[in-house]
Structure 1
């Protein structure tokens, strides 16, 4: 782009045009307004009311840099260093997955289940594979009486999660731990929730390039021949560490809903509920454990 400055409306048109070979126009436009609000505190309505607003030469340099990175399919959330999840702001970087709307649905399901509980009742919640901390922090923010714990194998992910907890003014106990090597959680929890790695290698071709090339594979993929490895391990731990009638919640691979239900039935979990996400895919599951037996 040769011009040293642009009217913002003119730049917007060119920005979208340059991205549409890679993204659809609606997504490209959403990127523009996300960046505009983050970098300039301007919304769509501000641009409509003040069509003659311009970018300075220095601002154009920043925008062009972001544009080139978007062309390389680096996620806009990483470029901005933040995203929104369940009404809260979260820092994100290459060490953590970008939170998805489907995971917000899981958080909403857990919160719905707590509405009928006595407000003064203290509950203990464990989030396994916390990443950015989005699940643990959202639950801590919306259940003030909860004691929330969060585990992750990645120290770098936990550093990001701790920052997010501080920024959202909640108290979460973070633990650096490999859940697959854990024999006992050492305490009882009323809720155990996990969004573990669940994408099989055979499904990589379905993953968008911007995800595949930028988000941490440690948090995404499992081997094709042992796709439920994390679920089985967490369910085994839940058998010993869920309080009586405590709830276990999972986000799951959309193609493995039946396999997940079969696994939990064999492990003697009760009241197994499989739910679809907003896109109509089997995406989340809840159950509880009355007996601590019948491990497989």
Structure 2
């Protein structure tokens, strides 16, 4: 008995099954614009600062990019990618900064590793690095160049200078062991570790000071020290107070507690004609100038530093102090 011809009946079933499979595959993907809109709105309702950019950086990171510039809004995210975005965005809802969530952040032309509680470099820090770069570029090419950074955090400023000036040597001192470890890691990743000495300790400690004396004279000192006053600390965002090291932020009642120590040590360590660049609070430059000009009894301070000028940041705030040793 011949077999019945069933091909005309089976073929539609096969096509239907294929269409269902394709629909199932499509449903497992989500459009980028929808994912972005969803998490932006979620962040807004939870009062997360910069909700739109927070969502953008997390989605871009998941796609292996820095930002979503040039990425089509109808780009499809796989279920695995959408799940990763969800997991990272849930962490952002705890108020953890995006830089720590991603584990890295760009500073000028460098991509640096980031890890809590090491201080996250701000845009002003990039300005400070540029000011130091400008100063170094005007020093004599015959002069041996050694830079001292007090409080490097992730190493952003020093490493950017080492990358720009191949002949430069640098010493970085930080009281935070985590900051020293991160600076060393970033130095290794940027290929500058052979020209950098990292010292874990307090610059006011005699042992640290004696160690620094073996590296002097320094042609340039730079510091973004803790300068937030006690009153200002209470007003900071949770992203800062809950995740970043308070030792890198709190500068005491007037914000100048650590700044004074930086001025003292740099006065002792910088060579004649050496330069010091500081990032401070907007009310601090006149106080720094007054402190270095006066006959000061603070720890027997007698300054070789002469206040040169104040430079405003991109927002017009007096932020950077430039001093030169006599």
Q: Is the counterpart of residue 7 in structure 1 residue 35 in structure 2?
A: no
| C-alpha separation in 1, matches of 2:128 and 2:35 | 38
1:230 to partner: Cα distance: 1.7
Q: Is the counterpart of residue 104 in structure 1 residue 140 in structure 2?
A: no
Q: Tell me, yes or no, if the aligned pair for 1:73 and 1:210 is still in contact at 8 Å.
A: yes
TM-score, with length taken from structure 1: 0.89
Q: Tell me, yes or no, if the aligned pair for 2:174 and 2:199 is still in contact at 8 Å.
A: yes
User: Within 5 A, what are the aligned runs for 1:192-271?
Assistant: 192-224=221-253, 227-266=255-294, 267=303, 269-271=305-307
Q: Which residue of 1 aligns with 2:155?
A: 133
Q: Tell me, yes or no, if the aligned pair for 2:148 and 2:221 is still in contact at 8 Å.
A: yes
Q: Which residue of 2 aligns with 1:287?
A: 323
| C-alpha separation in 1, matches of 2:54 and 2:116 | 19
Q: Is the counterpart of residue 92 in structure 1 residue 128 in structure 2?
A: no
| C-alpha separation in 2, matches of 1:196 and 1:90 | 20
| C-alpha separation in 1, matches of 2:147 and 2:269 | 11
| Residue 4 to residue 237, structure 1, CA distance change in 2 (3 Å) | same
Where does structure 1 lack aligned partners over 5 or more consecutive residues? Answer: 291-296
Q: Tell me, yes or no, if the aligned pair for 2:44 and 2:51 is still in contact at 8 Å.
A: yes
Q: Which residue of 2 aligns with 1:116?
A: 138
Q: Which residue of 2 aligns with 1:67?
A: 89
| C-alpha separation in 2, matches of 1:118 and 1:268 | 21
1:207 to partner: Cα distance: 1.4
| C-alpha separation in 1, matches of 2:28 and 2:101 | 23
Where does structure 2 lack aligned partners over 5 or more consecutive residues? Answer: 1-26, 295-302
| C-alpha separation in 1, matches of 2:287 and 2:164 | 32
1:271 to partner: Cα distance: 4.4
The 10-residue stretch of structure 1 (29-38 or 231-240) with the greater mean CA deviation from structure 2:
29-38
